[in-house]
Amino acid sequence: MLQKASPKNPLSYIDPQPDSPWQTYLAQVDRVLPYLGDLARWGETLRRPKRALIVDVPIEMDDGTVQHFEGYRVQHNLSRGPGKGGVRYHPQVTLEEVMALAAWMTVKNAAVGLPFGGAKGGIRVEPSRLSRKELERLTRRYTSEIGIIIGPQQDIPAPDVNTNAQIMAWMMDTYSMNIGGTATGVVTGKPVQLGGSLGRVKATGRGVFVTGREAARRIQLPLEGARLAVQGFGNVGSIAAELFADAGAKLVAVQDHTGALQAEQGLDVAALQAHVQQHGGVAGFKGGQAIAADDFWSVPCDILIPAALEGQVTEARARMTTAKLVLEGANGPTLPGADDILAERGVLVVPDVICNAGGVTVSYFEWVQDFSSFFWSEDEINARLDKILGGAFLHIWDTADRLKITLRTAAFVVACERVLEARAERGLYP
């Protein structure tokens, strides 16, 4: 069952609560250390972010007042390459959350074999309350504040919760103006005409589908007629639902911040996407029956995709779900205790660090294309994505089989070996 994360040399600048994102990450690290052999000597590296920057982001509002917002950029580990990770705008963003997200990016990039370290950023703000011009001023000021640690060879931000291609365009432009030359490679997830990559918008959802399809095949779960429940119907959840529906699955339940819906016969994914685009959430969609938020977790389903925020699959919800397969579209959605319950019940969990790695993989493609000024077709992008994720999933599956451990721990074994080998080979400077 759940082991408490190691209290060894705790960080002085945060006080993580039992089910907090950072505590969840530490518990995952504790589980992997016994499998790392001599590399465990470097294990403390995994528990300590290399760099954490907290910035004040003051902007002038449209009404002439000045408001201040907290901003963060954390670089967890840069042993294998420049930092890579998204920027989220959310009223509940904290330093601790960003630290955990950066750490998971370290693991994710290494698990997939991308030449990046892990980083993450965020601003503590409710973006829906800002005008477009206020959002632009916020983004540009934040970019200027963190500009001392980002760059195409240092740390490359990307979209995350409540950020998009437009935010990345403003970030790229601001950084470029500050250095006196256009630097398209400073961010990924940009508009295509500014050096963005085809296939990037759908990449994370596509990765959930690709790894989910392979996992379903291995547990002999046919996608044709499979019942799908998706929590979070933004970029990741909606695209994953669309691809699974195209493969013959039916979306029987969906939940987001506005409400939850159920439809035994299946929801029309395209119509639901259009509704969400127009109304900002699933609430009010006429093609399904509204249900209580907690009832979402007990809707009979075969595949569950938590694609919202971290910490959503609790122990109670792990006992409630009827899913045979859980695909983590979000980062850190499953608490360690819930992981144990799902494993005991024989539910296969494809962990976030491989399941939702499609986004960072195509971000890597975008970064490479920006440096070469040579761009690939969307078919080439998707083929390369499928090949990289398929190979990474196979290696993690084989590791889990060999060591008789869960896919999550196996993904951490693969990733942490790569990170700590790089740390050991580089040595300590000075």
Instruction: Give the Cα separation of 89 and 70 in Å (integer).
Output: 10
Partnered with residue 121 across adjacent β-strands are: 73, 87
Are the CB atoms for 150 and 157 separated by under 8 Å? yes
Helix 21-32 crosses helix 336-344 at what angle (to 10 degrees)? 50
Nearest to 146 by CA among 173, 175, 170: 175
CA distance to 41, 67, 129, 131, 407, per residue, from 64 (Å): 55, 10, 16, 13, 53
* Residue positions annotated with a catalytic role: 120
Who contacts 270 (Cβ-Cβ below 8 Å, separation ≥6)?
Answer: 242
Backbone φ, ψ for residue 283 (5° rounding): -60, 135
Who contacts 173 (Cβ-Cβ below 8 Å, separation ≥6)?
Answer: 140
CA distance to 101, 304, 400, per residue, from 331 (Å): 7, 15, 21
Dihedral sign, Cα of residue 93, residue 114, residue 339, residue 221: positive
Instruction: Give the Cα separation of 237 and 228 in Å (integer).
Output: 11
